[in-house]
Amino acid sequence: MNSIVLIPLLPLLSAAVLILSTGKMPRTVASLMGAGSIGLSALCVALLASSFLADGEIRELTLWTWMSIGDFSPRIAFYIDGLTIVMMSVITGIGFLIHLYSIEFMWDDESLCRYFAYMNLFVAAMLLLVMADNLLLLYLGWEGVGLCSYLLVGFWYRDPDNGAAARKAFIVTRIGDTAMALGLFLLLTELGTLDIQPLMVAANTQWQTGDTLPVLATALLLGGAVGKSAQLPLHTWLPDAMAGPTPVSALIHAATMVTAGVYLIARTYGLFLLAPATLEAVAWIGLATLLIAAFAALAQNDIKRILAYSTISQIGYMFLALGVGAFASGIFHLVTHAFFKALLFLAAGAVIHCLHHEHNIFRMGGLRSRLPVVFASFVIGSAALAALPFTSGFYSKDAILLAAWSLQDIGPWLWAGGLLGALLTGIYSFRLVFIVFFGEARTEPDRQPGWKMAGPLILLCVLSIVGGWIALPLAGVFPAAESHPVNHSVEWISIGVPLLGLLLAYLMFLGGQISVDKLLSAPMARRLVDFWFSGWRFDQLYDLLWVKPYKAIAHWWRNEPVDALYNGIVAASQWGHRRLLILQNGELRWYATIMVLGLVLLLAVMLRNAP
């Protein structure tokens, strides 16, 4: 049992030591601590997973009672079932590869110590999030993840733009988190507990499917999930979040952070099943996000921004899966996505690293022969991203599309939308490959990735291919999905569409049979692409709706309007003071007159009252 505690504790402790060393630790020691602790943690997860696979027993471990007030007594306790094991393996496994890669990538940075401290804290927070047995501890991990993303996105703090991106990431996700907190209050007030398993039991006995309360509660939880997983309408932080070092993006996009929302919905699926309306909303949000992000990805020219939009889009698929009730498929896609997205980001990092921090894909080109390992990584990663047959992404995305198809009424619509997304994914992912790695070279690489960078890339390449054949131990976690016999033509279409995307990308960006310039010559087309390039102008919209009004109000009130009230009192008493001062003028005749007048008045009153 003790090894379970070690899993989050090792990264946490190493983060604490790295912080307390205040940057005075030698680079070798810092990187050893940073990557080593995650490696050991991954080892513990592997041991735990193998024993779990052997006996299939759910493990629970209580460390201490966090607080106890009346009936409310959340604990610091872990609940480990198949879903947790899957998430822990992804977090520590992929996390370790990213850490290993980071050693080489960040070696020349003056703040290596701070970097590994934040990274380890990030992994620790994410582990707490998935291991928590109650929603309050989950919320601790949830917010911890948010903090670490803020710290890492703004890691190079000297550039104010990075700071802005970091604050955006934190504040936008916090808006979702606040909705989630309200959901927690609602659940606690109505069901009397925040422990996840008892909570789902209580919900099932107290609530009927379709009641208002479960819909409201899950809608609030969904708010949190939408924020963290960068789904509509709170997705705007993710494209900017690439301001941090590239391995950070890999960690955010693959192993931590954005998968949290998917995990939350899967973990509390019992509540969502009671709220069909919310579940349907999840599916539509997923579909809308995956399409909007795919179109936006098509128009980008920053290598990391393309990948960022592709993440938003792929998580849209996971939401689609959750929304149609295919929870296991959603988690399956989460896992395969973690493999190929980590691969793609690390490969992109290698490109940027070897090309003097160049981000623009149109200033790259011809890197196929110059950076062969990176090229292979990109081809495999993009193939998996586009869900070409026999890659890992194919199996998981195919399962999602089939599950969508099987749904009554709205199913075919969701399926068709998902298919359109798959086509777009094929185009934008191979557009990237063809432009960066083929054609003429525009920038020469000045170095080759060393083994610490190449090793993780090769391993992730293997995982991106064979990842689809891994059987996840999710049996018994979710209710068994009803399997519908699916028409073979539907399956063939699902296989064919990504290939069509690849073909279109080839014709447009390599073969030249379709001229992109001609396509864009129409003014409408140009405007549309600009619109996509700006991410559908969401940033401008939010700026107008929220940011500017808030700043304007703050500016308007900055000098304390309430003080006007008290200044008014001050002015009134000063006015009275001046008026009364007239009476006190020091002239005897004035005093005598007043005295006589007063006496006359007094006498008059007395005479009037006399009987």
| Residues lying near other proteins in the complex (CB under 8 A) | 19, 22-23, 64-70, 72, 76, 136, 139-140, 142-144, 147, 150-151, 154, 157-160, 163, 166-167, 170-171, 174-175, 177-178, 181-182, 184-186, 188-189, 550, 553-555, 557-558, 560, 562-563, 565-566
How far is Cα 382 from Cα 343, in angstroms, rounded to an integer?
9
- Closer by beta carbon to other proteins, 156 or else 536: 156
Sort 280 into a burial class: Cβ within 10 Å, 0-12 / 13-18 / 19+: middle
Question: What is the DSSP secondary structure assignment for residue 472, as one 8-state letter?
Answer: P
- Closer by beta carbon to other proteins, 148 or else 474: 148
How far is Cα 386 from Cα 367, in angstroms, rounded to an integer?
21
- Closer by beta carbon to other proteins, 216 or else 481: 216
- Closer by beta carbon to other proteins, 54 or else 569: 569
Residue 95 tokens, joined: 């996390």
Question: What is the DSSP secondary structure assignment for residue 242, as one 8-state letter?
Answer: G
Distances (CA, A) of 337 to 74, 508, 527: 33, 26, 32
Residue 14: CB minimum distance to other proteins, A: 17
- Closer by beta carbon to other proteins, 23 or else 479: 23
Residue 329: CB minimum distance to other proteins, A: 31
- Closer by beta carbon to other proteins, 142 or else 327: 142
Residue 164: CB minimum distance to other proteins, A: 8
Residue 162: CB minimum distance to other proteins, A: 8
How far is Cα 111 from Cα 250, in angstroms, rounded to an integer?
19
> How many Cβ atoms are within 10 Å of 122's Cβ, its own excluded?
27
228 in Cβ contact with 146 (< 8 Å): yes
Q: At what angle do helices 392-406 and 303-323 cross, to 10 degrees?
A: 40
- What's the length of the chain? 611
Residue 376: CB minimum distance to other proteins, A: 39
423 in Cβ contact with 503 (< 8 Å): no
Strand 75-80 vs strand 59-65: parallel, antiparallel, or unpaired? antiparallel
Residue 133 tokens, joined: 């047995």
- Closer by beta carbon to other proteins, 107 or else 185: 185
Verify cis geometry, omega within 30 degrees of 0, for the bond prior to 233. Answer: yes
- Closer by beta carbon to other proteins, 185 or else 591: 185
DSSP assignment of 52-71 equals HHHH---EEEEEEE---BTT
- Closer by beta carbon to other proteins, 244 or else 330: 244
List CB contacts of 444: < 8 A, sequence separation 6 or more.
370
Max Cα separation, the chain?
A: 123
Residue 220: CB minimum distance to other proteins, A: 10
Residue 72: CB minimum distance to other proteins, A: 6
List CB contacts of 208: < 8 A, sequence separation 6 or more.
274
Residue 420: CB minimum distance to other proteins, A: 35
Residue 548: CB minimum distance to other proteins, A: 14
Residue 558: CB minimum distance to other proteins, A: 4
Of 472, 381, 399, residue with least CA distance to 88? 472
How far is Cα 187 from Cα 134, in angstroms, rounded to an integer?
12
353 in Cβ contact with 430 (< 8 Å): no
How far is Cα 583 from Cα 570, in angstroms, rounded to an integer?
21
Residue 443 tokens, joined: 């920038």
398 in Cβ contact with 494 (< 8 Å): yes
Residue 22: CB minimum distance to other proteins, A: 6
- Closer by beta carbon to other proteins, 121 or else 374: 121
- Closer by beta carbon to other proteins, 79 or else 155: 155
